[in-house]
Amino acid sequence: MTDSQKTAFFRRALSGTMDRRQVIETGLRLGIATPLLTALAAMPAVTNAAPAERPLVHRTSAQEIDSGTLTVVFEGGTNDIDPHSSYTTLGSMVCLACYEMLVQYKGESTFEYAPMLAESWEISSDLSTYTFTLPSNALFQDGTVCDAEAVKKSFTRFRQMERGPYIVIARFVDDPETQIEVVDDVTIRFNLGRPQPLFLAAMASSFGPYVVSPATWEEHGTDEDPWAHEWLSFNAVGTGPYRLVENTLNEGVRLEKYDEYHRGWEGNHFSEIFIRNVPENATRRQLMEQGDADITTYNLLASDVVELQSNEDLEVMTYDSTRVNWAILNVPLLKTVEARQGLCHAFPYQENIDAIQQGLMVRSGPIPSTMRGWDPSVFLYETDLEKAKELLIAGGFQEGDSFEYMVVSSAADDKTAAQLFQANLAQIGFNLDITEVDLATYDDMVYGDAPAEEKPQIMGGWAWWPDYNDPWNQLAPNFLASAMHGGGSNAGGYVNERFEELMAEAENFTVEEELDEIMVEIQQILTEIDPPALYYGETKYFTVLQKDIGGFVPNPLYLGTYLFYDLYRTEEA
Domains in the chain, please, with CATH? Answer: 1-49 (no CATH), 98-215 (3.40.190.10), 320-540 (3.10.105.10)
User: Counting beta carbons within 10 angstroms of the beta carbon of residue 573, is it exposed (0 to 12), middle (13 to 18) or buried (19 or more)?
Assistant: middle
Give the distance, in angstroms, between the CA of residue 190 and the centroid of all CA atoms in the same chain.
26
Given this model, what pLDDT does residue 79 score? 86
Of 174, 489, 527, whose CA–CA distance to 340 is shortest?
527
DSSP-derived pairing of the beta strands 267-269 and 64-66: parallel
CA–CA gap between residue 557 and residue 103 (Å, rounded): 14
User: Is residue 415 a contact partner of residue 434, using CB atoms and an 8 Å limit?
Assistant: yes
CA distance from start to end of the chain = 34
**Residue 188: pLDDT over 90:** yes
Average pLDDT over residues 344-362: 95
More confident residue, 177 or 18: 177
Of 160, 136, 143, 163, whose CA–CA distance to 219 is shortest?
143
CA–CA gap between residue 142 and residue 388 (Å, rounded): 58
Render pLDDT for 322-334 as a digit per residue (tens, 0 to 9).
999 999 999 999 9
Render pLDDT for 96-149 as a digit per residue (tens, 0 to 9).
999 999 999 999 998 899 999 999 999 999 999 999 999 999 999 999 999 999
Q: How far is CA 382 from CA 18, 347, 386, in A?
A: 51, 8, 11
Of 54, 68, 39, 260, whose CA–CA distance to 146 is shortest?
260
User: Is residue 382 a contact partner of residue 345, using CB atoms and an 8 Å limit?
Assistant: yes
Q: How far is CA 478 from CA 177, 329, 464, in A?
A: 29, 11, 8
Q: DSSP H helical segments within 180-253, as ranges?
A: 199-203, 214-220, 229-232
Q: Is 180 helix (H, G, I), strand (E, B) or coil?
A: strand
CA–CA gap between residue 546 and residue 317 (Å, rounded): 11
Render pLDDT for 241-278 as a digit per residue (tens, 0 to 9).
999 999 987 789 999 999 999 999 999 999 999 999 99
Given this model, what pLDDT does residue 33 score? 58
Average pLDDT over residues 12-31: 53
CA–CA gap between residue 114 and residue 334 (Å, rounded): 46
**Residue 58: pLDDT over 90:** no
Given this model, what pLDDT does residue 10 score? 57
Render pLDDT for 409-463 as a digit per residue (tens, 0 to 9).
988 889 999 999 999 999 999 999 999 999 889 988 998 889 999 999 999 999 9
This model's pTM is above 0.75: yes
Average pLDDT over residues 339-363: 95
CA–CA gap between residue 353 and residue 383 (Å, rounded): 13
Task: Give the H or E element holding residue 187.
Answer: strand 187-191
More confident residue, 265 or 5: 265
Of 341, 453, 350, whose CA–CA distance to 397 is shortest?
341
Other residues' Cβ atoms within 10 Å of the Cβ of residue 49: 10
Render pLDDT for 66-111 as a digit per residue (tens, 0 to 9).
999 999 999 888 889 999 999 889 999 999 999 999 999 999 998 8
Average pLDDT over residues 363-377: 93
Alpha carbon dihedral 64, 67, 72, 77, in 10-degree steps, equals 60
DSSP class of 354: I
DSSP class of 378: -
Q: How far is CA 330 from CA 333, 449, 511, in A?
A: 6, 15, 35
* CA torsion through residues 233, 236, 238, 241, sign: positive
CA–CA gap between residue 232 and residue 171 (Å, rounded): 24
Angle in degrees, 0-180, between the axes of helices 337-346 and 412-427, rounded to the nearest 10: 110
> Where does the pLDDT of residue 553 fall: very low under 50, low under 70, confident under 90, or very high at 90 and above?
very high
Q: How far is CA 87 from CA 93, 100, 166, 478, in A?
A: 11, 16, 10, 12
CA–CA gap between residue 252 and residue 246 (Å, rounded): 8
**Residue 215: pLDDT over 70:** yes
Average pLDDT over residues 157-185: 94
